[in-house]
């Protein structure tokens, strides 16, 4: 079955997961969410988007972690500790934030495919554990190839005008929903910001689930 959402138990509730491959706190959630959601029988709607246009619309020309050096210095320390806590590999990327438009277009194209979770984890690991340039076509091809997927075809589809437009629309939807950072989760209309709120968001799914 290719539809990752419909493969989850009928009647389970759902979480919308908005993330950006350049976002370090999105890395934590991308690595954690599938197992956490599975445990609770919650379906994940994967919503890759680009934070860059969101930040620009809010008047920032870069990540707050770059613009505010005290906050940035703290964040790198925090990431080390958070990765240790969750048992995740960590290497500070030599480029940050590493915008990854192609990787994001691929994720959007595959958002309802069975490979979406493992693909997103692989891209995140390449950025935050292996310090690879996930903005390049080579690295995206490699990631897809490793999963046994037809990289060339997927990349061609991802670069189609229709899919490029979909990513712009996806990012506009993010702005319209009031998203100002990543990761961001929605359970129904309730918005949760940050990896620190993933557990709370999933706990709300439990209480809002309709009987199967």
Taking residues 81 to 100 in sequence order and writing x for each that binds its own copies by CB under 8 A, - otherwise, the string is x---x---------------
Q: Active site includes 13?
A: no
- Point out the catalytic residue in the list 13, 23, 26, 63: 23
- When asked if residue 191 is in the footprint of its own copies (CB under 8 A), the reply is yes
Cβ atoms < 10 Å from Cβ of 10: 8
- When asked if residue 166 is in the footprint of its own copies (CB under 8 A), the reply is no
- When asked if residue 181 is in the footprint of its own copies (CB under 8 A), the reply is yes
Residue 125 or 170 having the CB closest to its own copies: 170
Could you tell me the CA-to-CA distances from 135 to 83, 101, 110 in Å, in that order? Answer: 23, 7, 17
C-beta of residue 107 within 8 angstroms of C-beta of residue 116: yes
Torsion of CA 114, 116, 122, 123, to 10 degrees: 160
Binding to its own copies in span 39-68, by CB under 8 A? 58, 68
Taking residues 130 to 159 in sequence order and writing x for each that binds its own copies by CB under 8 A, - otherwise, the string is ------------------------------
Residue 110 or 181 having the CB closest to its own copies: 181
Out of 1, 10, 39, 77, the only residue in the binding site for its own copies (CB under 8 A) is 77
What are the backbone angles phi and psi of residue 197, rounded to the nearest 5°? -105, 5
**Residues in touch with its own copies (CB under 8 A):** 58, 68, 70-71, 73-74, 77-78, 81, 85, 178-181, 190-194, 196-197, 200
């Amino acid at each position: 079955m290719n539809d990752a959402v419909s493969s989850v138990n009928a009647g389970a509730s759902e979480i919308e997961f908005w993330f950006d491959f350049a976002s370090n706190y999105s890395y934590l959630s991308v690595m954690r969410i599938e197992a956490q959601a599975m445990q609770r029988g919650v379906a994940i709607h994967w919503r890759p988007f680009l934070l860059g246009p969101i930040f620009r619309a809010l008047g920032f020309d870069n990540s707050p972690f770059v613009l505010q050096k005290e906050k940035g210095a703290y964040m790198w320390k925090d990431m080390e500790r958070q990765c240790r806590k969750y048992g995740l590999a960590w290497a500070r990327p030599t480029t940050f934030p590493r915008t990854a438009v192609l990787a994001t277009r691929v994720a959007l194209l595959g958002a309802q495919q069975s490979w979406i979770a493992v693909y997103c984890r692989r891209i995140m690991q390449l950025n935050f554990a292996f310090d690879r340039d996930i903005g390049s076509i080579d690295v995206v091809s490699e990631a897809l190839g490793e999963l046994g997927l037809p990289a060339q075809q997927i990349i061609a589809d991802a670069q189609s005008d229709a899919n490029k437009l979909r990513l712009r629309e996806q990012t506009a939807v993010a702005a319209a929903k009031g998203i100002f950072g990543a990761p961001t989760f929605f359970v129904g209309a309730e918005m949760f910001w940050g990896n620190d709120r993933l557990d709370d968001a999933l706990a709300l799914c439990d209480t809002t689930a309709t009987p199967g």
